[in-house]
């Protein structure tokens, strides 16, 4: 990622040519469905609500949201047009209707304020520098309705030495600048700093790539 380019981003597996392997890798290595269903189940979603899947990647979470809740409107946004093309193709194969995919950056969301009831994001925050993490959380706060919920799943403080070692391959791939804050645990403090309330860690997962933690917070 070139630091001086505000439109730079880290693709799902750092190199575009690896993107095609993303789904099989995450599905088998990270207990993907179990973790994403946990994130969905921690949300109190009502029909007709508007949901944003931030940095949606290949659209798996958006698809699970739409499958489990009838009547909701799901928008997936991602900076990478290549992964969005995979997401759209996947939805066509699954005959999933009603999910809108949009290209855009997390720190400049192309949505008006107070638009969404819930914002979900999984396996994404560790792709951002500290400055971009803050700008992104501020953007999420802007687009959420008052009382809206922010649901996050990401690599965070390892539970033990094994989990710390397991996270190293992710750091080598995605970069130490964006991931090192996650080793100490950064998400709850960032949520607090950017004005979220009732911040709660809802679950921890041990995976072959380290500890993942799920969080829930509200826009006051
Ligand atoms: C590891 S993937 C996670 C994808 C998906 N959320 C999941 O759980 O499988 C990280 C995603 O973040 C996207 N991304 C990276 N930087 C971004 C940014 N600044 N704004 C929006 N998307 C970004 C990448 O294109 C990639 O699809």
| Chain segment 104-126, per-residue pLDDT in tens | 999 999 999 999 999 999 999 99
CA of 18 to the centre of ligand 1 (A): 14
pLDDT given at position 149 = 98
| Residue 170 Cβ < 6 Å to ligand 1 | no
Residue 140's pLDDT is: 98
Is 217 close to ligand 1, i.e. is its CB under 6 Å away? no
Q: Which residues of the chain have pLDDT under 50?
A: 1-3
Long-range interactions of 126-129: CB distance < 8 A, separation 24+: 126/154, 126/155, 126/170, 126/174, 126/178, 126/179, 126/182, 127/9, 127/10, 127/55, 127/174, 127/178, 128/178, 129/3, 129/177, 129/178
What residue owns the CA closest to ligand 1's atom 27? 57
Tell me, what's the pLDDT at 12? Answer: 80
Task: Name all domains of the chain by residue range, CATH numbers in brackets.
Answer: 16-218 (3.40.50.150)
Does residue 65 line the site of ligand 1, with CB under 6 A? no
Q: 55 CB under 6 A from ligand 1?
A: yes
């Amino acid at each position: 990622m070139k630091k001086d380019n505000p439109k730079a981003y880290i693709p799902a597996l750092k190199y575009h040519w690896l993107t095609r392997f993303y789904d099989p890798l995450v599905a088998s290595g990270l207990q993907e469905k179990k973790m994403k269903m946990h994130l969905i189940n921690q949300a109190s979603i009502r029909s007709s609500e508007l949901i944003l899947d931030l940095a949606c990647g290949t659209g798996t979470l958006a698809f699970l949201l739409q499958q489990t809740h009838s009547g909701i409107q799901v928008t997936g946004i991602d900076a990478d047009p290549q992964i969005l093309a995979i997401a759209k193709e996947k939805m066509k194969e699954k005959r999933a209707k009603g999910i809108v995919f949009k290209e855009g950056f997390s720190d400049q969301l192309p949505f008006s304020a107070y638009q969404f009831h819930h914002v979900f994001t999984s396996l994404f925050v560790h792709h951002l520098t500290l400055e971009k993490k803050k700008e992104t959380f501020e953007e999420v706060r802007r687009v959420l309705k008052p009382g809206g919920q922010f649901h996050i799943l990401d690599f965070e403080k390892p539970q033990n030495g094994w989990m710390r070692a397991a996270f190293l391959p992710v750091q080598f791939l995605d970069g130490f600048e964006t991931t090192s804050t996650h080793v100490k645990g950064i998400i709850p403090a960032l949520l607090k700093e950017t004005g979220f309330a009732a911040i709660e860690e809802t679950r921890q997962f041990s995976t072959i790539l380290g500890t993942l933690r799920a969080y829930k917070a509200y826009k006051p």
